[in-house]
Chains A and B, each alone.
Chain A
Amino acid sequence: MSEKVEIGPFHTELEESVYFKLEVDKNRIVENVEIINGFIHRGMESLVTKKNFMQNLILTERVCSLCSNNHPMTYAMAVEQIAGIKIPLRAEALRVIADEVKRIASDMFNLSMLTHIAHTHQLMKDTMNTREHMQDLKEVIWGNRMDMSSNLLTGTKYDLDERKIKIILDTLDVVEPKIRDLQERYENDEQLKSKTVGVGVLPLKDALEIGVTGPVARGSGINNDVRVKAPYGLYAYRPEIQPNVSLSLREEGDVHARAMARFGDILEAVRIIRDVVTDMPEGDTYVDKRPHIPAGEAVVRTEAPRGELIYYLKTDGSQKPVRMRWKVPTFTNWEALKVMILGDKVDNVTMILNSIDPCISCTDR
């Protein structure tokens, strides 16, 4: 006899609203899974065509506040491609710094949620507290803990001086040893391992078939990091700053492997920020505050904290986009959930969901 179990849409362990309808057997193993979403659908595709290009710099941030630098940055890159504008190298550097700072904070949020759900209380606390340093840094440099408002069409709004560079480097000096310590504890903590090793497995074959991206791919042994495979911005100008993905790759494909893959990403981000801020290109931070945007079409992709993000933009020479479309990382990673959840315990469902670091607000948008 199978029993029906419902989880959500409002649930303490679900950061975002989603609704699971599950069928479980007498051993509480999931036999059938139906995932209902749409709770975070805000009509973004329509909304962006009602707002002008300047307003969309901010609206795209709110597609998702966890990758809220990637969205406006990728949008700006699409606009710049259409307008045929090459942005100053200094702006490319500033974009990478903002992006990697967000990556650290985003990945660490996911790790704190993992340990929160796994009830490894001390680990959760230490992860959250370490992440707070990055949050404080964002507030001091950019003015907000989540939405940095750092991007401008043709460049960036912000610049860094010696004082701010020192604040960034000092923060990294504090944070890095803490992250290394956490990495070791996550690797070896018996309680955490007992809840995450072998749970929610995504075998390499399925991972390839579904086309997962980001840390979910890296946790199953696939390197398809856009920063390396199709470098853009400063990653293209200075290949030496590209992340060393081998530090993130894992073979196991379970919840634990995906968490450890994120540690690799975080530590590489720390290294990238250090490399970039200590060797800042001189020059302007933007070309034109309010550029003319001609008619055109562009497709741009970048590596968000959750994986490959694609923007499609179509313009007609007016002040507003004609069309903007997204392919977000969670869209592909979501499909993998079914493979991960089926045959696993029902009590693990929220943890498995968290392990793909879902961004439902990106996906439902």
Chain B
Amino acid sequence: MSEVIPKLFRINTGSCNGCDVEFMPTVLVEKFGVSTLGVEMVEDIKDANLIAITGPLTARSESFLKSAVSKIRHPYVVVGVGTCAITCGIFRDSYAINGPTDKIVDVNVNVAGCPPRPQSIAEGIAKGVKVLNQVMNGEATPKTIDAIFKDFSAPESFRGRMDLNPDMCTACRTCETVCPSTAIKITEIAAGHVHNIWHNSCCYCGNCAYFCPTGAIFSTNSFDTVKLQSEKYEDVNSEIIKSSTCSSCGDTYMPPSRGLLGKGYVHDDVKKLDTKICSKCRKEANFKRMYA
């Protein structure tokens, strides 16, 4: 088995700068560990075997990307850096965007983040190197690859992967409304609502958590966002927000969540409140109590 020298070249297909600006310290600052991978930065794409691509692939870039890619000698490995490279991220709905990049190039590793931390970009490059070695030696790539830089950590405050506490969520759709990259989708089903967060579309802005009235959606400090292409469509956080049956009329209704009740009844123990009644029946009961 021969060791391969990874030769890295970066292509910007219309990034907002974030990913490219973070790429530079990733390769130039020692603490991110890229130098330990034996990676060489090359000036000419013809010499490269490891390509990092950023940006959502603008219409203008498309033909240039095609011609650049046609110059690379096989075999090579592509690492998509940033949410834009994976799904076009926040720019997805624009007329000027022809991406994502995997329409044109075979991508091997994806690094979600907007922008990803250098630690994640480094991890993406490291996994790219691993895949490159496998490709060069004719081995099959396994479905997942364990973390390579294991000792990286993030501060508590880091806005990482979003998470949802379904107990607190009341399916009000505020998060869906304020999410700039349409990463949240709430769908009604018989049993209630499905709340989906697509990590590969998310731009990690925290808008949803900030505007959520119940504190159900929150950001964790996890930067575990480096995945193989085969995992691209599986990286979803999916929860069911269950509906209830009204004990009075028998209709299905969306009960106020623990989080919402806690907002309304700040001095009471919300667990004691009887929530098994829909808002229509509650209104009627209250009306009768007051005026009948």
Contact = CB atoms under 8 A, between A and B. Distances in A.
B58 A42 contact: yes
Interface string B207-228: 1001100000001000000000
A12 interface: yes
Contacts of A32: none
Interface stretch (B15-23, B190-198, B254-262): B15-23
Interface in B1-48: 9-22, 24-25, 28-29, 31, 41-43, 45
Interface string B77-109: 000000000000011011111000000000000
A178 to B, nearest CB: 14
Contacts, number: 180
Interface stretch (B125-133, B175-183, B240-248, B265-273): B175-183
Interface in A90-118: 109, 112-113, 116
A10 B20 CA distance: 12
Contact of B158 (A143, A152, A359): A143
A144 B58 CA distance: 25
A52 B177 contact: yes
A290 B64 CA distance: 43
Interface in A17-68: 17, 38-44, 46-47, 50-52, 54-59, 61-66, 68
B17 A157 contact: no
B166 interface: no
A171 to B, nearest CB: 13
B115 interface: yes
Contacts of A157: 206, 210
Contacts of B9: 10, 12
Nearest to A19: B64
Interface residues of B, number: 60
Interface string B272-284: 0000000000000
A300 to B, nearest CB: 21
Given A12-B10, A109-B24, A132-B29, A147 B211 contact: no
A51 B180 contact: yes
Interface string A147-179: 101001000010000000000000000000000
Given A9-B61, A139-B154, A146-B22, 8 more contacts: A39-B58, A42-B58, A112-B28, A128-B24, A128-B29, A139-B158, A145-B22, A145-B115
Q: Which 5 A-B pairs have the closest CB atoms?
A: A65-B18, A43-B96, A143-B159, A43-B94, A55-B180
